[in-house]
């Protein structure tokens, strides 16, 4: 048949549900507040915008293939060694590169029930088998993760805080997870929302990476630094993992624009602090006021919250979504994560946050 006469993707590829990003369209004629992709309402640091605009005219030249300037700026900001850092085209790129380097056919990649979707996509794309551990109260469960480890497990992915739940595992639990894993398993701490967490846990997370041979941390410029459009992520890990990732990495996976803007952004600590302060102030208000409407909100330490709706016609998450979109408020449906009765809301500007709270109050009162 014609099927045998055309190229066939490798096993696993057709099992992938392609990642569908959050919508960015409102109803016609209303002002759009895009609250669907955990982007920051403050935009990037003015210094980053300036560095981007000041890019030289030499667009015919390739960027520095190892993004040295950016790695050194990150290293200086965090007190790390630049040799232990790899930059990527977003942290998605690094999650994929880690998977490509450590997982092949027959190998398993393990993550939690409501864990970030890219893990599953990357594991299947590498020909591996995704294994999912159940959660408790929308939070990763260390015992369940450890119970799911087999002699085929190559990577355990832990998004901390996790997207889309916003929940967080304290460092004591992360250390317990690490202590229970075989030394041959790589623990990937996906810390895309690290900067929002107001405990000193992240320093200890970095210490865990520094002190172990099988832990890496991935970070991003897409959230707190407001540079999602430029696609910049980084990874910190032991030299042998850095070496493996560099072998499978695309030679120029970070653009000149990303290097310039990222370097300026990471040096602007004051701007970052401002963005964290704005977020955490509104995170508290949004959580409390939406909760006061009688909707359940999962406590979050990120720049977003998961709002739960009753599974009742006219009152459901899908109804709420349509109602909010008609007012220009675009949230994220999370049924792709197995959460059909919830919407994820990104913390926005004061205006956007107030508009969401008011719209949800109307929705709860009158339904769709
Ligand atoms: N990890 C988590 C948990 C995320 O939520 C995201 C963004 N959706 C990423 C990684 C990837 O972000 P980026 O590729 O923009 O760095």
Tens of pLDDT, residues 214-267: 999 999 999 999 999 999 999 999 999 999 999 999 999 999 999 999 999 999
Q: Is the CB of 235 under 6 A from ligand 1?
A: no
CA distance 27 to 327: 7
Ligand 1: which atom is nearest the Cα of residue 116?
3
Q: Is the CB of 226 under 6 A from ligand 1?
A: no
Mean pLDDT of the chain: 95
Mapping DSSP to helix (H, G, I), strand (E, B) and coil, where does residue 286 land?
A: helix
Ligand 1: which atom is nearest the Cα of residue 220?
16
145 pLDDT band, cuts 50/70/90, is very high
> Same domain for 344 and 314?
yes
Atom 2 of ligand 1, nearest CA residue: 192
pLDDT at residue 26 is higher than 80: no
H-helix or E-strand containing 144?
Answer: helix 142-147
Instruction: Note the pLDDT tens digit of each residue in 56-83.
Output: 778 899 999 999 999 999 999 999 999 9
143 pLDDT band, cuts 50/70/90, is very high
> Same domain for 243 and 316?
no
> Same domain for 54 and 81?
yes
> What are the φ and ψ backbone dihedral angles of 165, each rounded to 5 degrees?
-85, -25
> Same domain for 75 and 31?
no
User: From the CA of 367, how far away is ligand 1's center (Å)?
Assistant: 33
Final residue in a domain of this structure, among 232, 267, 302: 267
Classify the C-alpha dihedral 169-283-276-345 as positive or negative.
positive
pLDDT at residue 305 is higher than 80: yes
Sheet of 342-346: strands edge to edge? 296-298, 304-308, 342-346, 332-333
Atom 12 of ligand 1, nearest CA residue: 91
Mean pLDDT of 76-99: 97
Q: Which of 58-62, 161-165, 263-267, 284-288 is the least confident region? A: 58-62
Question: What pLDDT, on the 0 to 100 scale, is given for residue 63?
Answer: 96
> Same domain for 231 and 97?
yes
Question: What pLDDT, on the 0 to 100 scale, is given for residue 23?
Answer: 74
Question: What pLDDT, on the 0 to 100 scale, is given for residue 16?
Answer: 94
Return the DSSP state at 47.
H
The alpha helices in the chain, defined as continuous H runs, are 46-53, 68-78, 91-102, 118-125, 142-147, 171-180, 201-211, 239-248, 256-267, 269-292, 317-326, 350-366
Mean pLDDT of 42-49: 98
CA distance 327 to 29: 10
> Same domain for 260 and 169?
yes
Number of domains within the chain? 2
Instruction: Note the pLDDT tens digit of each residue in 335-356.
Output: 999 999 999 999 999 999 999 9
Question: What pLDDT, on the 0 to 100 scale, is given for residue 29?
Answer: 84
Mean pLDDT of 292-318: 97
> Same domain for 16 and 74?
no
Atom 6 of ligand 1, nearest CA residue: 192
Mean pLDDT of 20-31: 79
User: From the CA of 220, how far away is ligand 1's center (Å)?
Assistant: 7
Q: Is the CB of 90 under 6 A from ligand 1?
A: yes
CA distance 326 to 361: 15
Q: Measured between alpha carbons, how far apart are the two ends of the chain, in Å? A: 50
364 pLDDT band, cuts 50/70/90, is very high
CA distance 172 to 331: 33
Question: What pLDDT, on the 0 to 100 scale, is given for residue 56?
Answer: 76
203 pLDDT band, cuts 50/70/90, is confident
Residue of 37, 88, 89, 91 best suited for mutating to test ligand 1, as the one with most atoms within 8 Å of CB: 91
CA distance 310 to 367: 11
Q: Is the CB of 91 under 6 A from ligand 1?
A: yes
pLDDT at residue 1 is higher than 80: no
User: From the CA of 93, how far away is ligand 1's center (Å)?
Assistant: 10
Ligand 1: which atom is nearest the Cα of residue 38?
8
Final residue in a domain of this structure, among 267, 299, 330: 267
Longest dimension (CA), the chain: 63
H-helix or E-strand containing 112?
Answer: strand 108-112
Compute how many other C-beta atoms are within 10 angstroms of the C-beta atom of residue 264.
Answer: 24
> Same domain for 135 and 28?
no
What predicted TM-score, i.e. pTM, was given to this entire model?
0.95
What CA dihedral angle connects 321, 169, 92 and 154, to 10 degrees? -130
CATH code assigned at 359? 3.90.1150.10
> Same domain for 315 and 242?
no
Q: Is the CB of 217 under 6 A from ligand 1?
A: no
Please report the ipTM that was assigned to this predicted complex: 0.99
213 pLDDT band, cuts 50/70/90, is very high
CATH code assigned at 245? 3.40.640.10
Q: Is the CB of 166 under 6 A from ligand 1?
A: no
Q: Is the CB of 88 under 6 A from ligand 1?
A: no
H-helix or E-strand containing 39?
Answer: none
> Same domain for 177 and 85?
yes
pLDDT at residue 150 is higher than 90: yes
Compute how many other C-beta atoms are within 10 angstroms of the C-beta atom of residue 62.
Answer: 9
> DSSP assignment of 76-111, as one string?
HHHT--GGGEEEESSHHHHHHHHHHHH--TT-EEEE
Question: What pLDDT, on the 0 to 100 scale, is given for residue 200?
Answer: 64
Mean pLDDT of 301-308: 97
Instruction: Give the residue from 188, 138, 144 showing the smallest Cα distance to 168.
Output: 138
> Same domain for 120 and 205?
yes
User: From the CA of 1, how far away is ligand 1's center (Å)?
Assistant: 41
Atom 5 of ligand 1, nearest CA residue: 163
Mapping DSSP to helix (H, G, I), strand (E, B) and coil, where does residue 267 land?
A: helix
pLDDT at residue 3 is higher than 70: no
Final residue in a domain of this structure, among 239, 267, 295: 267
Instruction: Give the residue from 246, 202, 240, 210 showing the smallest Cα distance to 88.
Output: 246
User: From the CA of 37, how far away is ligand 1's center (Å)?
Assistant: 9
Q: Is the CB of 228 under 6 A from ligand 1?
A: yes
pLDDT at residue 298 is higher than 80: yes
Question: What pLDDT, on the 0 to 100 scale, is given for residue 205?
Answer: 80
**What is the residue range of 297's domain?**
2-44+270-366
Q: Which residues contact 308 (CB under 8 A, 6 or more apart)?
A: 295, 296, 297, 298, 317, 341, 342
Q: Is the CB of 39 under 6 A from ligand 1?
A: no
> Same domain for 152 and 6?
no
Ligand 1: which atom is nearest the Cα of residue 159?
3
% of the chain residues with pLDDT over 70: 97
Question: What pLDDT, on the 0 to 100 scale, is given for residue 2?
Answer: 58
């Amino acid at each position: 048949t014609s099927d045998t006469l055309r190229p066939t993707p490798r096993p696993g590829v057709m099992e992938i549900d392609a990642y569908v990003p959050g919508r960015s369209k409102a109803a016609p004629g209303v002002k759009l507040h895009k609250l669907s992709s955990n982007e920051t309402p403050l935009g990037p640091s003015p210094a980053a915008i300036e560095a981007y605009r000041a890019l030289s005219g030499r667009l015919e030249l390739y960027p520095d293939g190892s993004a040295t300037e950016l790695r050194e700026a990150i290293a200086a900001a965090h007190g790390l060694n630049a040799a232990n850092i790899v930059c990527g085209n977003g942290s998605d790129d690094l999650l994929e590169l880690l998977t490509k380097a450590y997982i092949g056919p027959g190998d398993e990649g393990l993550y939690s029930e409501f864990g970030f979707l890219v893990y599953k996509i990357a594991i299947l794309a590498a020909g591996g088998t995704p294994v999912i551990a159940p959660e408790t109260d929308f939070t990763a469960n260390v015992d369940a993760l450890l119970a799911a480890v087999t002699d085929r497990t190559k990577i355990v992915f832990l998004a901390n805080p996790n997207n889309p739940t916003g929940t967080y595992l304290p460092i004591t639990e992360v250390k317990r997870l690490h202590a229970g894993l075989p030394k041959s398993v790589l623990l990937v701490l996906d810390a895309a929302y690290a900067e929002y967490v107001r405990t000193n846990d992240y320093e200890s997370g970095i210490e865990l990476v520094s002190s172990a041979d099988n832990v890496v941390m991935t970070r991003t410029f897409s959230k707190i630094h407001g540079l999602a459009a430029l696609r910049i992520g980084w990874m910190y890990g032991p030299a042998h993992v850095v070496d493996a990732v560099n072998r499978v990495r695309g030679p120029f996976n970070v653009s000149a624009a990303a290097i310039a803007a990222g370097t300026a952004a990471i040096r602007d600590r004051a701007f970052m602090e401002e963005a964290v302060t704005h977020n955490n102030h509104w995170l508290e208000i949004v959580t409390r006021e939406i909760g006061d409407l009688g909707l359940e909100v999962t406590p979050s330490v990120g720049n977003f919250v998961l709002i739960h709706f009753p599974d009742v016609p006219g009152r459901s998450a899908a109804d709420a979504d349509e109602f909010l979109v008609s007012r220009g408020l675009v949230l994220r449906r999370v049924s792709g994560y197995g959460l059909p009765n919830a919407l994820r809301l990104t913390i926005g500007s004061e205006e956007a946050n107030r508009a969401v709270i008011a719209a949800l109050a109307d929705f709860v009162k009158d339904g769709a």
